[in-house]
Amino acid sequence: MAKEIERKFLVAGDFKTAVTKETKITQGYLSSVPERTVRVRIKGEKGFITIKGIGSKSGASRFEWEKEIPVNEVEDLLELCEPGVIDKTRFIVPEPSGLKFEVDEFYGNNEGLTVAEIELPAEDHPFEKPKWLGEEVTGDAKYYNSMLMKNPFKDW
């Protein structure tokens, strides 16, 4: 069983000078219940379906399963998704130890929100926090993409 371990932060400064890659992402949720979110996503030129389980007590880890599927199938499945498709650009920013931050800049109803995540090999794994990294929001459900479609940033 795959396990995702990540920490999430607000972005409080300019990170774009350190970006090595950027990708447009459009995603929707077939199920957004916390016990099992089912997401479909177009990431660049590829399509994916992802299932995630409920988070740990800290909110930093949870089960994750993902499979690549054809983009046209994602487009069809987006028609069945719950209201509130997420549009964002993901920027990759390397971290000195070899890890990387994935910084998501949101559009549409979530315009103005920028969040950084770092995937870790263990919940207590150390990493260098760049100056542009702001408040930690790991485990705060309102920052989950599945919640941003229901309660977008513009309504906060």
Identify whether the C-beta of residue 15 lies closer than 8 Å to the C-beta of residue 93.
Answer: yes
Question: Residue 90: how many CB atoms within 10 A of its CB?
Answer: 16
Identify whether the C-beta of residue 152 lies closer than 8 Å to the C-beta of residue 87.
Answer: no
Tokens of 23: 């990708």
Which residues on neighbouring strands pair with residue 47, listed in sequence order?
Answer: 42, 69
Q: At 79, which amino acid appears?
A: E
Among the listed residues 29, 107, 143, 144, the single catalytic one is 29
Asked about 29 being catalytic, the answer comes back as: yes
Tokens of 32: 């957004």
Question: Residue 1: how many CB atoms within 10 A of its CB?
Answer: 6
Catalytic residue ranges: 29
